[in-house]
Chains A and B, each alone.
Chain A
Amino acid sequence: MGRLSVDLCGIGLDNPLIPASGTFGYGYEFAELYDINCLGTFSFKGTTLQPRYGNPTPRIAECTAGMLNAVGLQNPGVGRVISEELPKLRTVFHKPVMANICGFSESDYVETAQRLDEQEGIGWLELNISCPNVHGGGMSFGTDPKSAGELTKAVRKAVRKPLIVKLSPNVTSIAEIAKACEAAGADALSLINTLLGLRIDLRTRRPVLANRTGGFSGPAVFPVALRMVQDVARAVRIPVVGMGGIRSAEDVLEMMMAGACCVEIGTANLVDPYACPAILEQLPRVMDTYGIRDLREIIGGANT
């Protein structure tokens, strides 16, 4: 075990860096630039039971220190993810990978999760109950403790692999949702998904996004995400995966001190495709600066 290695639900990670779902595809685009096996793991594009085009374009709006996206879970559906994407993914990534799952009903989630659970090479299932860009699914499961708990319970019963529930920040108390998921059997929690936002085009006087609203991400959300990670880490005993606006080794350390055992990095990959290897390279030096010998020693260190 190196000084960067951490554990996520009994599976070792060489380092805590995990590109977040929806910002890393199935890894191939980045594998053209660097060996993505340097990463802890990555969470591949959110998978639904049926293929989805997603929302009409424009789906992207720039903001100060961040962006809105309203992609709406475009993906080829679980069947083609298994038959086409995963075999290609395995040619470029040789560690356990994280499967992100979304749906529009409990049975959708359960079936998609079961089919991905059976796939070799998948280490964790990340249950996305927090996508703000689809109607009648995603976030509607994640904004109420009762429905979040029920869905978590149904999926937990149906799968063997570790189940990580990805939480929405668009709630009054994220700790309440977190506790409901823990009680329902979640093995870990990941947070935060994007914050619901809006931009208006001054020329057309209409929303920039065809979907009107989109999920806000990027460096601007980091302090909000950090606060929520600490809120959740204080409320539950299961591991927490921290994400939201991380773009430097310093951000990673803050997130871990707030209680994250590892971190997901999203929007930074879209602006700088080398963001993750750059952070990985900085980490040991920045740890030295702050007298950190081993990353595991700082997890939740700011929470007492």
Chain B
Amino acid sequence: MQQAFFEIEEQSRLTDSVYRMVLRGDTSGVRAPGQFVNIRIEGTFLRRPISVCDCEPDRLTLIYKVVGKGTAILKGLPVSSKLDILTGLGNGYDLTPAGNTPLLIGGGVGVPPLYLLCKRLIARGARPTVILGFNTASEIFYEKEFRSLGADVTVTTVDGSYGTKGFVTAAMDGIPCSYFYTCGPLPMLKSVYRGTTVSGQFSLEERMGCGFGACMGCTCHTNSGDKRVCREGPVFTKEDLPWED
């Protein structure tokens, strides 16, 4: 964990409610894809945890959905505003078990952390396949960006308005998969858990107080004891999640 001050360099709208923010500042606290940052927002009491979408030495990209007061304030902040951010929170994805053909499965605002993961996997010589799941065509974002990295991308929509109709699991059949990484809503994570035969890693979400392990607000049960989503998580292995039956 590290505290750093960032300046907003760019704010852009990706869909009706999803925004992208590019920040300039010291990102040396970010150690792995799948980690998150916790942003202090003037006008809310608690910080807002947001997963890292992309990270370069002096630049951080975050994608967030406007769901409440905090994210509504965030989207209204003009370029060059300064933000107090705790970086490098959580464990992040472990790239070592990925193999040659890892499968990345993202749903909705669970898509962003897979971007940096995909980039890093390709840099290590892997050939990842990406499945991006959304409700409908107008909610899709980052399909092109994943393709530009060189990944093989499949998009699913629940209503069939774009790509493969159905949930992400509808597109999983026959895709080469040495290992998988996933992030998205809990029902999606659970169907990925049931629909995969290989091992993989899941990024979980929970309401947090501090985001760095002090308040014990976000604890979950795992097969190896109670873990803090913000500290030992948010990424847990398939073997560690008590989701059998």
Question: Chain A residues in contact with chain B, CB under 8 A?
Answer: 22-25, 29-30, 32-33, 45, 53-54, 57-67, 69, 71, 74, 218, 269-274
10 new A-B pairs (CB below 8 Å) besides A23-B210, A59-B218, A66-B45?
Answer: A22-B216, A23-B215, A29-B231, A54-B219, A61-B207, A67-B45, A69-B209, A74-B226, A270-B210, A273-B86
Q: Is the interface of B mostly helix, strand, loop or mixed?
A: loop
Closest Cβ neighbor of B46 among chain A residues:
A62
Q: In whole Å, how far is A76's beta carbon from the nearest beta carbon of chain B?
A: 9
Check A67–B46 contact: CB distance below 8 A: yes
Contact of B214 among A25, A54, A67, A218 (CB under 8 A): A25
Check B45–A71 contact: CB distance below 8 A: no
A269 vs B211: C-alpha distance when bound (angstroms): 11
Check B216–A74 contact: CB distance below 8 A: yes
Q: Which of A269, A270, A271, A272 has the most CB of B within 10 A?
A: A270
Mark interface residues in B222-236 (1 if CB within 8 Å of A CB, else 0).
000010000100000
Total A-B Cβ pairs within 8 A: 87
Check B209–A67 contact: CB distance below 8 A: yes
Check B214–A30 contact: CB distance below 8 A: yes
Mark interface residues in B172-209 (1 if CB within 8 Å of A CB, else 0).
00000000000000000000000000000000001111
Tell me which residues across on chain A come within 8 A of B231, comparing CB atoms. Answer: 29
A74 vs B215: C-alpha distance when bound (angstroms): 10
Closest Cβ neighbor of A27 among chain B residues:
B214
Q: In whole Å, how far is B149's beta carbon from the nearest beta carbon of chain A?
A: 33
Tell me which residues across on chain A come within 8 A of B209, comparing CB atoms. Answer: 60, 67, 69, 270
A272 vs B209: C-alpha distance when bound (angstroms): 11
Contact of B207 among A32, A58, A270 (CB under 8 A): A58
Check B213–A273 contact: CB distance below 8 A: no
Tell me which residues across on chain B come within 8 A of A271, comparing CB atoms. Answer: 40, 45-47, 210
